Amino acid sequence: MNINSNGYTYIFAIAMVVIVASLLSIAATSLKPFQDKNVELEKKSDILYSIGIEGEDSELLFDEYIIDQLVIQDGEIVSSDIKAFDIDMAAAVKELNNIRKVPLFKAFKEGNTFYVIPMRGKGLWGPIWGYISLKGDGNTILGASFDHEKETPGLGAEISTSIFQDQFPNKVLFSESRDGIEVRKGDASGYQQVDGISGGTITSVGVQSMLEDCLVPYKEFLLKLSVNENQISMDSIISIVL
Amino acid sequence: MEKNKSKEALFSKKNRGLLKDPLNINNPITVQVLGICSALAITVKLKPAIVMSLSVIVVMALANVITSLMRNMIPNRIRIIVQLVVVATLVILVDQVLKAFVYDVSKQLSVFVGLIITNCIIMGRIEAFSLGNPPWKSFLDGVGNGVSYGLILIVVSFFRELLGNGTLYDYPVVEKLGLYELGYHNNGMMLLPPMALIVVALIIWWQRSKTPSLIEKD
């Protein structure tokens, strides 16, 4: 058979595509469970990282430190068919921020309670996401971790480095002037400011608007925590005085 | 002639040459100057460089063998497409396997795994060698070129990680030697892509001064 005839070329091309396509789909389906497991483990270690815990076995550590997983909608704890951990943030942030159901992770570490909030927003080239952990007052930041899909290496991608993330601890989320954190250029000494990434302005602004957008559902819930916390400290002061 | 060919030993002098030549006088990076882009991008640390090298060796050896087996069946007019499909399929398989079993490395390599497809060494060797040679020879050629590519990658990343980050395979060598206390500082510039180019250039310089056959006569 003439291997350079049109007929043969078509047959060859079709056969090749069919073989390759089936080979790839078999590989993709059989490896899927392993890949999903990896994504789940990464999510757990990200949540743990934001409260300052790093370790080999994030599965075990997660069960140890995360004591509760709540579903929040517009400042209230609601019941949900889906477990908090399984909520797909990518889908959730597409809904209006006052009706979306979002997860909140309650952690207990060294005698203190912390709250971890997942976030998801837009960078320059694709999605960015992260976790922000708050101290018991629901306002002061304990730690933050960010990650991205395809921001520019060396520029926007720097949001996932500790240089950027280490600015967040001890900043506050809510004040009378604004909700969230301002990612700005230059001086960032204020309680609600961090220094953005030079050359990564759009990603930096993305982080800021992600915070603003994702905090809305939690705001009422967190402010209540803050009131309780003050109440408790006032009570203890009064009791000491008395 | 036919008889002679069938008697040729698995590692005859010619076949050994296929493995050895790319290591020195026909090195894909320093002599053929192929695959430079990935040599710059993933040589910041040893670990991704080693994984990348292994992936390239596997992809190149398999791609060479497969195209060599099909070389008498491939219609001439679509041969580049066929080569691309073979390489792309292998690369996707490698990517999926990395994602399933070494997730953190796969995240680090991210787009570069996909870019193995565009690594000029692979397409170059298929087009130049395996389309005209039997499978065993193509396999040797693929492994030879893959190993030589990997060797340069590992040498470059060795220097970049050691001088730029003070670690080797994430092990803090400089810290253990106590050099920081003597006032030593890491050279952060080694981590930037241009320095990879300079390290590659130094390797080329060294190689040429050692190998007279590579020096052009003018």
Whether residues A9 and B99 touch (CB distance < 8 A) is answered with no
Whether residues B78 and A20 touch (CB distance < 8 A) is answered with no
Share of chain B above pLDDT 70, in %: 94
Q: Which residues of B touch A38 (CB under 8 A)?
A: 99-100, 103
Determine how many CB atoms are found less than 10 A away from the CB of residue A178.
Answer: 12
Domain boundaries, chain B: 43-207
- Which one of A12, A42, A125 makes the best mutation probe of the B interface by having the most chain B beta carbons within 10 Å? A12
Nearest CA-CA distance, residue B143 and chain A, Å: 23
Whether residues B74 and A3 touch (CB distance < 8 A) is answered with yes
- Asked if B42 and B52 touch (Cβ cutoff 8 Å), the reply is yes
- Asked if B28 and B22 touch (Cβ cutoff 8 Å), the reply is yes
pLDDT in tens, B83-124: 999 999 998 888 888 888 888 778 777 667 777 877 788 888
pLDDT in tens, B120-168: 888 888 888 899 999 999 999 999 999 998 999 999 999 998 888 888 8
The answer to pTM > 0.80 is no
| pLDDT beyond 90 at A84 | no
Whether residues A20 and B100 touch (CB distance < 8 A) is answered with no
Strand partners of residue A194? A183
Whether ipTM exceeds 0.85: no
pLDDT in tens, A43-66: 888 888 888 888 778 888 888 888
Nearest CA-CA distance, residue A154 and chain B, Å: 9
Q: Which residues of B touch A24 (CB under 8 A)?
A: 89, 92-93
Whether residues B77 and A150 touch (CB distance < 8 A) is answered with no
- Which one of A14, A22, A34, A59 makes the best mutation probe of the B interface by having the most chain B beta carbons within 10 Å? A34
| pLDDT beyond 90 at A27 | yes
The secondary structure of B143-209 as a DSSP string is HHHHHHHHHHHHHHHHHHHHHHHS-BTTB-HHHHHTTGGGT----GGGGSHHHHHHHHHHHHHHHHH
Domain boundaries, chain A: 47-235
CA distance A135 to A113: 7
Determine how many CB atoms are found less than 10 A away from the CB of residue A231.
Answer: 10
CA distance A65 to A58: 10
- Asked if A202 and A156 touch (Cβ cutoff 8 Å), the reply is yes
B93 interfaces chain A, CB cutoff of 8 Å: yes
Q: Which residues of B touch A22 (CB under 8 A)?
A: none
